[in-house]
Chain A
């Protein structure tokens, strides 16, 4: 479907037809006190030429040429050039919600392919057409668990989950009749599963584990799965670095009931935090409790393969206050980019990419551990990021390295004021071998 603007005359015609004098009358239900009075304080329009010059001047203030080891939830990756021309076709770019299947087969098929890819990748039976982003998807997973098992009230969360995700989940929980409990982390950076086991009681609703956790440490999904399934606690898996599934076994294989995650690292730019993409996949038996939109495969009146929105009875326009899905939109454009990205990489390509990320991080870890004043915090397996502890405060070192053209990682003090010396270092395929050499050399100078 295309988007058509309308003229002043058409606007007047429409208002006349419905018997309204001025467009402001349509908004009369909104109290005057919360309406914006007067004009929005934004500058007048400008020419394309002037605008380009202004944006270019502004962009030169940002460290785009720096060597980057930034990760911690957003991952700078190579995005194949072939993606943009396809996803930016007008049919996809400006298409509206595909309520009319007869006019939206392309959008619906793209959504269906996305769901299939993500269900395969997570090892689950079904995935929805995407959520807004990872953290709210994680919170929605907990809400869904509460719908599956309404009698249990306590949510168990690994404290090695990304702090911003934990904050988001807790914000949702505060307004529900649910409680939460944080499971501590062991010295090796893994979640303390023995502590989890003893925390479980008759009131335990679900347990969430970030399978490659905030510190880049690979968690023991197998043991987690065994503990929670024994006690009939719902198994929730969180994947923030989706490419890790090219190397690490899918949560579905360990009995996950719900898998949620952030799809940004599958072909979306980091772009100041958005738009990102929430991934949400479930076991078939839970599908009616799932939020979000679903495209399904069916046949048309001539018996030909066709697609339409399905299981819409979960959604708020049918089920009102009892809806399991108040999220009726999805990140379709981002989902399409992810679909393209995964199709271009293929199964083996994703495996190779994951292995490359793993090896690069492993080499960097070994090189950094040799530097005087640097210690590895967790002696264990990491995927593509890890924490180092610095002799001096990490933020001080980080700023010194920034001046040398290196974004050395994410100082953990940004998330926890007591964690003054930790630095989370990430590597992707974008990092060359000399980046690590430069980092170690620069660290030796400033430490």
Chain B
């Protein structure tokens, strides 16, 4: 299972790549392996405003549906349209081609969000194991 050093992680098993007031969001390698074959990814419209911990999308696999959360409030800047036709990319490349949403955030909000670094996330996953 891959966990990358340059990312932050949530308890909902999303990863965030934070670049100033912009963040890219996807699901972790652990999350995709738990979900199984992903058959559909439902993403919000660009421009949508959302609150912290509001469900902003859905991931449907052959055995379950789970929601996508963002730990801080913001606005949707971009969505990965390729996932419409090839949702399985979220399985094969969760950290690269399988990214899901780019959002605009207030970097200050991140201090309150319970984000983990790669070591903490590795522990967190192990504890769930």
- Whether the Cβ atoms of A288 and B64 lie closer than 8 Å is no
- Whether the Cβ atoms of B64 and A318 lie closer than 8 Å is yes
**Nearest CB on A from B106, distance (A):** 21
A304 at the interface (CB under 8 A from B): no
B118 at the interface (CB under 8 A from A): no
A56 at the interface (CB under 8 A from B): no
Question: B42-66, CB under 8 A of A: which get 1 and which 0?
Answer: 1000000000000000101001110
Interface of B is mostly: strand
CB-CB under 8 A from A322, the residues of chain B are: 65, 67
B30 at the interface (CB under 8 A from A): no
**Nearest CB on B from A79, distance (A):** 41
Question: B25-51, CB under 8 A of A: which get 1 and which 0?
Answer: 000000000000000101000000000
A319 at the interface (CB under 8 A from B): yes
**Within the assembled complex, what's the spacing in Å between the Cα atoms of A169 and B30?**
43
**Nearest CB on A from B127, distance (A):** 24
Most buried by B among A288, A313, A318, A319: A313
**Nearest CB on B from A314, distance (A):** 8
**In the complex, chain A residues 279-332 whose Cβ is within 8 Å of any chain B Cβ:** 288, 313, 318-319, 322
**Nearest CB on A from B15, distance (A):** 23
Cβ contact of A288, chosen from B40, B63, B67, cutoff 8 A: B40
**In the complex, chain B residues 67-86 whose Cβ is within 8 Å of any chain A Cβ:** 67
Cβ contact of B42, chosen from A288, A318, A319, cutoff 8 A: A288
CB-CB under 8 A from B58, the residues of chain A are: 288
**Nearest CB on A from B111, distance (A):** 28
**Within the assembled complex, what's the spacing in Å between the Cα atoms of A313 and B64?**
6
**Within the assembled complex, what's the spacing in Å between the Cα atoms of A160 and B70?**
44
**Nearest CB on A from B46, distance (A):** 15
**Nearest CB on B from A285, distance (A):** 10
CB-CB under 8 A from A319, the residues of chain B are: 65
CB-CB under 8 A from B40, the residues of chain A are: 288
In the complex, what residue of chain A is closest to B60 when comparing beta carbons? A313
CB-CB under 8 A from A318, the residues of chain B are: 63-65
CB-CB under 8 A from B67, the residues of chain A are: 322
**Within the assembled complex, what's the spacing in Å between the Cα atoms of A204 and B67?**
26
**Nearest CB on A from B14, distance (A):** 18
**In the complex, chain A residues 318-352 whose Cβ is within 8 Å of any chain B Cβ:** 318-319, 322
Most buried by A among B40, B42, B63, B65: B65
**Nearest CB on A from B73, distance (A):** 15
**In the complex, chain A residues 4-47 whose Cβ is within 8 Å of any chain B Cβ:** none
**Within the assembled complex, what's the spacing in Å between the Cα atoms of A313 and B42?**
13
**Nearest CB on A from B78, distance (A):** 20
**Nearest CB on B from A203, distance (A):** 16
**Within the assembled complex, what's the spacing in Å between the Cα atoms of A313 and B60?**
7
**Within the assembled complex, what's the spacing in Å between the Cα atoms of A322 and B67?**
10
**Within the assembled complex, what's the spacing in Å between the Cα atoms of A319 and B58?**
12
**Nearest CB on A from B55, distance (A):** 9
**Within the assembled complex, what's the spacing in Å between the Cα atoms of A283 and B42?**
16
In the complex, what residue of chain B is closest to A289 when comparing beta carbons? B42
CB-CB under 8 A from A288, the residues of chain B are: 40, 42, 58, 60
CB-CB under 8 A from A313, the residues of chain B are: 60, 64-65
**Nearest CB on A from B45, distance (A):** 10
In the complex, what residue of chain A is closest to B58 when comparing beta carbons? A288
**Within the assembled complex, what's the spacing in Å between the Cα atoms of A319 and B42?**
15
**Within the assembled complex, what's the spacing in Å between the Cα atoms of A288 and B40?**
10
**Nearest CB on B from A233, distance (A):** 16
**Within the assembled complex, what's the spacing in Å between the Cα atoms of A313 and B40?**
11
In the complex, what residue of chain B is closest to A324 when comparing beta carbons? B65
**Within the assembled complex, what's the spacing in Å between the Cα atoms of A313 and B59?**
10
CB-CB under 8 A from B65, the residues of chain A are: 313, 318-319, 322
In the complex, what residue of chain A is closest to B62 when comparing beta carbons? A313
CB-CB under 8 A from B42, the residues of chain A are: 288
**Nearest CB on A from B37, distance (A):** 12
**Within the assembled complex, what's the spacing in Å between the Cα atoms of A437 and B65?**
62
**Within the assembled complex, what's the spacing in Å between the Cα atoms of A288 and B67?**
14
In the complex, what residue of chain A is closest to B55 when comparing beta carbons? A322
**Within the assembled complex, what's the spacing in Å between the Cα atoms of A322 and B63?**
15
**Within the assembled complex, what's the spacing in Å between the Cα atoms of A243 and B64?**
39
**Nearest CB on A from B50, distance (A):** 10
**Nearest CB on B from A339, distance (A):** 29
CB-CB under 8 A from B60, the residues of chain A are: 288, 313
In the complex, what residue of chain A is closest to B65 when comparing beta carbons? A313
**Nearest CB on B from A313, distance (A):** 5
The 10 closest A-B pairs by CB, nearest first: A313-B65, A313-B60, A319-B65, A318-B64, A288-B42, A318-B65, A313-B64, A288-B40, A322-B65, A288-B60
- Chain A interface (Cβ within 8 Å of chain B)? 288, 313, 318-319, 322
Q: A288-B42, A313-B65 are in contact. List 11 more A-B contacts (CB 8 A).
A: A288-B40, A288-B58, A288-B60, A313-B60, A313-B64, A318-B63, A318-B64, A318-B65, A319-B65, A322-B65, A322-B67
13 contacts between A and B (CB under 8 A): A288-B40, A288-B42, A288-B58, A288-B60, A313-B60, A313-B64, A313-B65, A318-B63, A318-B64, A318-B65, A319-B65, A322-B65, A322-B67
